[in-house]
Structure 1
Amino acid sequence: MTDAAGHQAPQAAPYAYGYAAPTAAPTRTLSITSLALGLASIVFSWTFFAPIAGLVTGVMALRREPESKTMAVWGIVLNAVMLAGAVIVALLALIGVGIGFAFLPFAFL
């Protein structure tokens, strides 16, 4: 560009003085989501849908976000513990209902 007197304005070189080009921060959305769902499912006693969603996002985070592997693994562990606990409680409830129905004819003797 030139000014009115015909002098050319100095142009700054991009990324002068040895500075590197700015890079985007790595995304950690899936691993944070998995960890948050794992913590929330334990704190709020969410037993089925949230742990499954947390497990799925944790496994996806392991494959897509290798820089946040620790958060993804913790999310998977927390969600798996909560889901396993829910399955154990459901099985015990079914066994209890079965035993109750088995002794139902004897309740009226």
Structure 2
Amino acid sequence: MTTATHTEPQAPFATPNPHAVPSAETRGFSISSLVLGLVSIVASYTFFVPVVGLVLGIMALKREPASRTMAIWGIVLNSVMLAGAVLVTVGALVFGLAMLPFAFL
């Protein structure tokens, strides 16, 4: 009785290519920037949320070219809300300083 065996030689294990592009790209920075842009609509007067979202959006533009649209939307939302918060703060300071002489009447 004979047994049938596979006689082709096996290929050695291939070493991974260090220059290969990973198939699953991460989109963490751009998603975080977009989410913080949406959150900054509610929490824009903290200055912290729009600034972090703006920094993450700029980092996402450089690191994640596949999710460029989300990064751009995050940058736009965060910068508009940051500019609005700055304008409201400056307006409140100017109004407060203008009303300061009347505070002691």
Aligned length: 92
The AA in structure 1 aligned to 2:82 is L
The AA in structure 2 aligned to 1:45 is A
Instruction: Tell me which moved more, 60-69 or 44-53.
Output: 44-53
Match of 2:95 in 1: 96
**Where in structure 1 are there 5+ consecutive unaligned residues?**
14-22
Do the aligned residues in 1 keep the contact of 2:44 with 2:85 (CA within 8 Å)? no
Do the aligned residues in 1 keep the contact of 2:44 with 2:82 (CA within 8 Å)? no
Q: 2:5 aligned with 1:8, yes or no? A: yes
The AA in structure 1 aligned to 2:43 is S
Deviation at 1:67, TM superposition (A): 1.0
Q: Matched residues in 2 for 1:33 and 1:85: separation? A: 21
Deviation at 1:7, TM superposition (A): 4.1
Summarize the alignment of residues 36-51 of structure 1 with structure 2, pairs less than 5 Å apart: 36-42=35-41, 44-47=42-45, 48-51=47-50
Q: Matched residues in 2 for 1:83 and 1:54: separation? A: 10
- Output the aligned Cα RMSD: 2.3
Deviation at 1:6, TM superposition (A): 5.5
Match of 1:75 in 2: 74
The AA in structure 2 aligned to 1:38 is G
Q: What percentage of residue pairs aligned between the two structures are identical?
A: 51
SS of the aligned residue for 1:103 comes to: helix
Q: Matched residues in 2 for 1:75 and 1:81: separation? A: 10
Relative to structure 1, the CA distance from residue 10 to residue 61 in structure 2 (aligned partners, 3 Å threshold; closer, same or farther) is farther
Match of 2:15 in 1: none
Match of 1:30 in 2: 29
Relative to structure 1, the CA distance from residue 41 to residue 10 in structure 2 (aligned partners, 3 Å threshold; closer, same or farther) is farther
Deviation at 1:102, TM superposition (A): 2.7
Q: Is the radius of gyration larger for structure 1 or structure 2?
A: 1
Please list every run of at least 4 consecutive aligned residues from structure 1 whose deviation after the TM superposition is greater than 6 angstroms: 10-13
Q: Matched residues in 2 for 1:93 and 1:82: separation? A: 16
